[in-house]
Amino acid sequence: MSTATLSSKGQITIPAQVRASLGLDTGDRVEFVALGDGKFAIMAATQPARSLKGLVRKPANPVSIEEMNQAIEAQGAKRLSQLNATAKPSCAQS
């Protein structure tokens, strides 16, 4: 297991073995991913967006833009009616 020491400025030097394993080079970015229970994973943030292709499978039934817009509008109207139902009535004017 590799370790590093936190400086007074909140900086650490990532050990060479870890940098090599992650494929990190000078100027590369890293991400800290919360795993829960106070644990984090460090990941190289150097992957191109194209590497995400295929990560999410295609939907069984394709949805058109019009159908998406209708669904968004319906959910917005539903939420607005919920907010209106729970809103406190304004003070009556004399």
Domain ranges of the chain: 16-46
How far out from the chain centre does Cα 91 lie?
Answer: 42
pLDDT in tens, 30-79: 999 999 899 999 988 877 777 778 878 888 888 899 999 999 999 999 99
Residue with tokens 């909140």, as numbered in its chain: 10
Looking at residue 70, what is its pLDDT? 96
Looking at residue 73, what is its pLDDT? 95
Is pLDDT above 60 for 28?
yes
**Which residues make Cβ contacts (< 8 Å) with residue 24, sequence separation at least 6?**
14, 18, 30, 44, 46
